[in-house]
């Protein structure tokens, strides 16, 4: 457990261990002159290293009884603990949550921005808020593993693990500056959580150097909890392993904090397999993007430009898009400032057409009080041009699962239906990007699927789809078609002036269901033209596995039944195509990964061959 003076105590223990083992204590030249980073800057490989033990088995029992009277946490745990975040934006969201939880303590903003490391000019990530700040005890709780005082039902954080997992997922090192004012007593605290320091110095325990200052006669003076030597040792470690080389530079970081607040700076940011930073600061001056973006495969060429501007796609790689829907309710006196520009919050429910509210009462523990959750569902405003669908599940105002595909993606049922629910009755996973598949969650999934399918059956005609023949609405429409057919026969001698026939087939949409067509009788030439138009559209989109739509004989008295049968047939064919397309995508992805690995192997072999040739050439010359 990190405490003040722990760094000095650990260095003393290291010296004792080295003396007992008959070894010299290693010397590390880092005191502001030799700024170092990890050899491996890829997050997913940063935990792959061998741990060398400085203790022999004969001395283990002696030291355990004297020096090691507590459980230790190895530095590798910082990395393994951070792997709970599969997604970098999930880690940033944890830091935003900490700032949002400070609204009750007066926070009005959280700022996310890019800074430059003065030592090596590399980018750093800044997350700063004007909340209540942390006093010396608070910052030690923050740096400790699993400690949390957040017991309120309104706060997002609860596990006491978010700060450690999020900072270590984004970069190898993080330094925290916090100013607090408790009952007129002003303090400033600085803590360093450095994976680089722990790895480079081969520590076998997590050491967190921390120093504190207090205000005396309008000046900040060191606040000592043990001895001046311990305080100086912690300061030395912070200066050696942080982007700041003097005590004055450290204190300058409080200039823009205000009377209270916290500032987190994450540096030595992780890189991807290509040696580029995971976080892209250059693509957009007002945004932070993920360099490795999710693809928009499965859409036609006409689709992609439209799909890639929709929030359901952009949230995967744009922090501005993701943070705009991260919280269900809009803030009244708080804002997220991303790279100098406030994030405009988007309320997804305001973007829906034909909205409906369904109340869900989950079957929770009988001993607990009755709970209910409002589910707002409707069609996306882009329907039916884009088949965007899914349920956005929030927990305590925080988005956990964006556009969750409750209904099978290859099915037409539920197409274009978007839902919003705040499920406070189930607990999220530790990374707050999913829920554990408990019986309560499975019942929620089943209920949402039922609600969405029922909504789609009764409302799909509003956006131009043919409703399923079994629905009550489909029966009413069938009767309406039969009534129109009788009118058509009565007007066969010119008493009826036919309306303009419009056959719409948008290349932007992968058609899954047949649109509702209220088409009057027309000449054979018009029918042939419509069939040809539909066939040409299908042929032009054959690359995207679009189905060919055939016009039924509208003069046939059984046209409705035939259309329904054809519609069901097309549903089945589309589901088969979707499954096949998913299999092909998976195969292509695997082949591309194998190709990349082969390219890297060829590159290494080529480099080795060239090196050996040069060596042989130099030997021949000699």
- What is the chain's mean pLDDT, rounded? 76
Beta strand pairing call for 123-129 and 261-269: antiparallel
Domain 347-465 sits in CATH at 3.30.230
Nearest-CA neighbor of 547 among 361, 412, 372?
Answer: 412
DSSP-derived 3-state class of residue 2:
coil
Do the Cβ atoms of 127 and 163 come closer than 8 Å?
Answer: no
Query: Edge-to-edge, what's the strand order for the sheet holding 373-380?
Result: 352-360, 373-380, 417-422, 390-395, 398-404
Q: Considering the domain delimited by 71-346, tell me its CATH architecture.
A: 2-Layer Sandwich (3.30)
**Residue range 80-103, pLDDT digits in tens:** 888 888 899 999 999 999 999 999
Task: Produce one character per residue of 197-214: b if its CB has 16 or more CB atoms within 10 Å, e if not.
Answer: bbbbbebbbbbbbbbbbb
Q: What's the pLDDT at 244? A: 96
**Identical topology for domains 71-346 and 347-465:** no
**Calpha distance 188→181 (Å, rounded):** 9
Bridge partners (DSSP) of residue 115 are 124
SS3 170: helix
Q: How far apart are CA 537 and CA 365, in angstroms?
A: 55
Give the pLDDT score at 367: 53
Q: Is 90 left (phi over 0), alpha (psi -120 to 50) or beta?
A: alpha
At 467 the pLDDT is 78
Closest Cα partner for 466 from 484, 452, 480?
Answer: 480
Asked if residue 66 has pLDDT above 90, the reply is no
For the chain, domain boundaries: 71-346, 347-465, 569-617
What angle do the packed helices 472-490 and 439-459 form, to 10 degrees? 10
DSSP state of 428: B
Q: Is the pLDDT of residue 15 over 70?
A: no
- Per-residue pLDDT, averaged over 402-410, amounts to 86
- pLDDT, position 19: 35
Q: Would you list the DSSP string of 274-302? A: TSSBSEESSS-TT--EESSPPP-TTS-HH
CA distance 142 to 136: 10
d(CA 434, CA 401): 6
**Quick one: which H or E segment has residue 559?**
helix 559-621
Query: Between 162-170 and 136-143, two packed helices, what is the crossing angle to 10 degrees?
Result: 70
Task: Classify burial at 610, counting beta carbons within 10 Å of its beta carbon; exposed 0-12, middle 13-18, buried 19 or more.
Answer: exposed
In degrees rounded to 5, what are phi and psi of residue 331? -80, 145
* pLDDT at residue 230, rounded to an integer: 92
Kindly tell me if the per-residue pLDDT of 510 is higher than 70.
no
Structure tokens at 569: 């047939």
Which residues 6+ apart lie within 8 Å of 155 measured at CB?
101, 396
Give me the pLDDT at residue 423, please: 93
- Compute the distance between CA of residue 130 and CA of residue 140 in angstroms, rounded to an integer: 19
Give 521 or 400, the one with higher predicted confidence: 400
Predicted pLDDT of residue 588? 92
Per-residue pLDDT tens digits for 532-552: 433 443 343 333 333 333 333
Q: Is 409 within 8 Å of 380 (Cβ atoms)?
A: no
Cα(88)–Cα(280) distance, integer angstroms: 12
Check residues 361 and 55 and name the one with the higher pLDDT. Answer: 361
Specify the pLDDT at position 452. 94
- DSSP-assigned letter for residue 349: G
Written in H, E and C, the secondary structure of 398-424 is EEEEEEECCCCCCCCCCCCEEEEEECC
Q: Read off the tokens for 384.
A: 């039916």
The C-alpha atoms of residue 470 and residue 130 are separated, in whole angstroms, by 58
pLDDT tens readout for residues 276-293? 999 999 999 999 999 877
């Amino acid at each position: 457990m990190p405490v003040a003076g722990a760094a000095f105590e650990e260095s003393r223990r290291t010296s004792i261990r080295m003396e007992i083992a008959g070894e010299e204590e290693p010397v590390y030249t880092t005191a502001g002159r030799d700024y170092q980073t990890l050899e491996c800057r890829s997050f997913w490989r940063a935990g792959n290293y061998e741990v060398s033990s400085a203790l022999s088995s004969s001395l283990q029992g002696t030291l355990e009884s004297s020096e090691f009277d507590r459980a230790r946490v190895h530095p590798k745990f910082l990395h393994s603990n951070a792997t709970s975040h599969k997604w970098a934006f999930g880690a940033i969201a944890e830091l935003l949550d900490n700032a949002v939880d400070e609204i009750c303590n007066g926070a009005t903003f959280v700022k996310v921005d890019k800074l430059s490391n003065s030592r090596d000019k590399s980018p750093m990530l800044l997350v700063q808020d004007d909340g209540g700040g942390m006093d010396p005890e608070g910052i030690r709780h923050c740096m400790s593993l699993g400690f949390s005082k957040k017991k309120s039902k309104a706060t997002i954080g609860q596990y006491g693990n978010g700060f450690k997992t999020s900072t270590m997922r984004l970069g190898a090192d993080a330094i925290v500056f916090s100013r607090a004012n408790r009952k007129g007593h002003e303090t400033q605290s600085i803590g360093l959580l450095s994976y680089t320091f722990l790895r480079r110095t081969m520590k076998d325990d997590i050491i967190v150097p921390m120093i504190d200052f207090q205000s005396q006669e309008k000046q900040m003076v060191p606040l000592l909890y043990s001895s001046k030597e311990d305080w100086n040792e912690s300061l030395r470690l912070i200066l050696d392993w942080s982007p700041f080389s003097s005590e004055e530079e450290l204190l300058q970081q409080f200039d823009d904090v205000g009377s209270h607040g916290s500032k987190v700076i994450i540096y030595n940011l992780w890189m991807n397999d290509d040696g580029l930073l995971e976080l892209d600061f250059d693509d957009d001056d007002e945004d932070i993007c993920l360099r490795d973006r999710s693809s928009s495969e499965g859409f036609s060429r006409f689709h992609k430009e439209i799909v890639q501007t929709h929030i359901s796609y952009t949230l995967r790689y744009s922090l501005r898009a993701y943070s705009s829907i991260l919280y269900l309710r809009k803030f009244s006196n708080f804002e997220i400032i991303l790279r100098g520009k406030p994030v405009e919050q988007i309320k997804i429910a305001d973007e829906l057409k034909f909205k409906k509210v369904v109340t869900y009462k989950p079957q929770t523990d009988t001993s607990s009080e009755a709970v209910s959750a409002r589910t707002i569902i409707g069609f996306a405003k882009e329907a039916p041009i884009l088949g965007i669908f899914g349920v956005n599940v929030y927990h305590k105002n925080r988005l956990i699962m964006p556009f969750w595909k409750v209904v099978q993606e290859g099915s037409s049922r539920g197409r274009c239906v978007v839902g919003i629910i705040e499920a406070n009755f189930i607990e999220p996973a530790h990374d707050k990007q999913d829920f554990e598949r408990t019986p309560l969650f499975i019942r929620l999934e089943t209920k949402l699927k039922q609600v969405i399918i029922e909504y789609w059956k009764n409302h799909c005609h509003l956006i131009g789809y043919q409703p399923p023949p079994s629905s009550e609405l489909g029966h009413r429409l069938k009767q309406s078609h039969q009534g129109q057919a009788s009118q058509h026969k009565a007007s066969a001698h010119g008493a009826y002036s036919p309306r303009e026939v419009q056959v719409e087939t948008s290349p932007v949409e992968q058609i899954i269901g047949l649109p509702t067509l209220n088409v009057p009788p027309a000449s054979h030439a018009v029918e042939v033209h419509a069939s040809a138009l539909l066939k040409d559209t299908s042929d032009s989109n054959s690359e995207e596995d679009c189905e060919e739509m055939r016009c039924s004989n509208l003069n046939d008295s059984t046209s409705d039944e035939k259309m329904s049968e054809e519609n069901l047939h097309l549903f089945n064919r589309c589901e088969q195509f979707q499954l096949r397309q998913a299999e092909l995508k998976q195969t292509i992805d695997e082949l591309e990964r194998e190709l990349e690995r082969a390219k890297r192997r060829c590159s290494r072999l080529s480099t080795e061959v060239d090196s050996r040739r040069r060596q042989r050439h130099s030997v021949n010359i000699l």
